[in-house]
Amino acid sequence: MLAFRTAMTAFRRAPLLSALSVTTIAFSLFAFGLFGLVALNIKNALQRVEERVEIRAFVAEKTPVESIAVAADEIANYPQVLKVDIVTQSQALERARTELGEFRDVFESEFLPASMDIKLKPGFRDPASVKTVAANIRNFAFVDDVRFGEEWITQLYRLRNIAGVVGAALGLAFAVVAIIIIGATIRMAVLARSKEISIMRLVGATDGFIRRPFLIEGSIKGVLGGMLALVLTYLAMRTLEQYLHFETVFFDRRLALLGIVFGALMGLMGSAVSVGRHLRRI
Amino acid sequence: MIRFVNVTKNYPRAAGATALRDVSFRLGKGEFAFLTGPSGAGKSTILKLLYMSERPTYGEVRVSGYSSTKVKQREIAELRRRLGIVFQDFQLLEDRTAEANVAFALEVIGTPRASIPGKVARALTQVGLASKATALPRELSGGEQQRVAFARALVNDPFVLIADEPTGNLDERATRGIFQLLREINASGTAVIMATHDLALVRSTDYRCIELNHGAIVFDSADAPRVEVEMD
């Protein structure tokens, strides 16, 4: 309780330095947050594209619908498969007319083959899983051909992997920069009170007692900085949406909370390191 | 109560690497002793070893049962609660009043809040500054600021007062006032060990004088020029 009161007093005694610390933490986390937002939206966009990954198995002419239904049930039970839709010849024609409207008049008879459209579960849309499922489907005698856009899926996954690696590296770099800046800011706050710390030590305060208010202060600054960064990130996203006219996704509650916890941890760790170093020196 | 046994202190990275050489002496309960000698003689090092801000390279320092060879960081904090320390530059917090500076020494060791104002008032009265309790350090003279530092050092009823050049920044009149205060503190039973350059001050009293030069004791008024002096 005393440590909390001391931390609050420190805010009151040096409002400018405290505000500066919170703002610095906020802007460091804001840069990290903006990066996170871009990464999140790229991930979402790739996920939407990924959802379109499907296998189309074309069925030989005159295959009884019952046989196709039995096969579809069997395929639906594969662990990788989300759902199987049977597309009859007439449905295939209708779809072609819808999708290729300019050729509507050309499509007169049911010349397109029936098919099974197989959607895969998330986590099984990578090239290897798709190939495995496609190979199994090829084993059905009445299946004429299996298409799944092999090259497209391979390219998509390559892009996803590159985005993942670049994202992780950039994220790490942003996080490190944020940690360094936050650490330096908190160190400034600790140095500003170095005389107080020296006196505390001389009159017999324990290191734990000296540390506690700084840790509380650092955590509070981190939480405030994290919250401010969240607001700034949200405002930046809204502004971008307004001018660039595209829809973006913001952090959900869990991620937002994680951001604030990250801020608090940065504040806590920055303080712990700075005070610890200072205590070792005096 | 305080005992230095063959204490040597080296600072490997400093130019004058050896700050103290084979120093031994004792300081008894309620005793008053001056530490004198030129700059760099080792006066401040002795005081730092006393409040265990430094540890000896060789030898042992014993203060009220705490030994420099065994003491843990937490025990050093406990020891310091029983010491009073004052410096030449007062070491006051500029943004706090005289009474807040004194109260600070009680707050940080977890003294119950209710008992703090009474103890602070008593300490300020003891140093003759009761009327300036709400003044900030910048509103006080050098002598008065040093009195606040003394009040802070005394508020926990120390058994020894360690003073590192407490009159170094003061004019002659303020010096006399501070020295009179030190006499009173000592008369009330608190031991005093004071580092000073002021030989006139030392000669004006019959208190014990330990003179240092190049890190060694060259004279101890308690027992002619000898390295180890028994004072209990």
Q: What is the pLDDT of residues B75-102, one digit of tens each?
A: 999 999 999 999 999 999 998 999 999 9
A9 touching chain B per CB within 8 A: no
Task: Find where tokens 């410096």 sit.
Answer: B87
Among A4-18, A92-106, B72-86, B129-143, whose mean pLDDT is lowest?
A92-106
Contacts of A16 in chain B (CB under 8 A): none
For residue A91, the number of C-alpha atoms closer than 13 Å in the C-beta half-sphere is: 8
Q: What mean pLDDT do residues B56-79 have?
A: 94
Contacts of A198 in chain B (CB under 8 A): 91
Q: What's the rounded Cα separation, in Å, for the pair B148 and B84? A: 12
Q: What's the rounded Cα separation, in Å, for the pair B90 and B147? A: 9
A199–B77 C-beta distance less than 8 A: no
Give the one of A13, A198, A202 whose C-beta lies nearest to B95's C-beta.
A13
B80–A204 C-beta distance less than 8 A: yes
Q: What mean pLDDT do residues A69-98 have?
A: 87
Query: pLDDT tens digits for A13-52?
Result: 788 888 888 898 898 889 888 888 888 888 888 888 888 8
Query: pLDDT tens digits for A176-201?
Result: 887 788 778 778 878 888 888 999 99
Q: Cβ distance B180 to B192 under 8 Å?
A: no
State CA B97 to chain mean position distance.
23
B74–A206 C-beta distance less than 8 A: yes
Output the pTM of the full model: 0.70
Confidence of residue B151 (pLDDT cuts 50, 70, 90): very high
Contacts of A209 in chain B (CB under 8 A): 108-110
Residue-range domains of chain A with CATH: 2-48+157-281 (no CATH), 54-147 (3.30.70.3040)
**pLDDT (0 to 100) of residue B162:** 96
Q: A–B: how many Cβ contacts below 8 A?
A: 51
Give A 208-227 residues with CB within 8 A of chain B: 209-210
Asked if residue B230 has pLDDT above 70, the reply is no
Q: What's the rounded Cα separation, in Å, for the pair A18 and A21? A: 5
A119 touching chain B per CB within 8 A: no
Q: Is A210 exposed, middle or buried (0-12, 13-18, 19+ CB in 10 A)?
A: buried
Average pLDDT, chain A: 85
The answer to ipTM > 0.90 is no
Asked if residue A101 has pLDDT above 90, the reply is no
Asked if residue B227 has pLDDT above 60, the reply is no
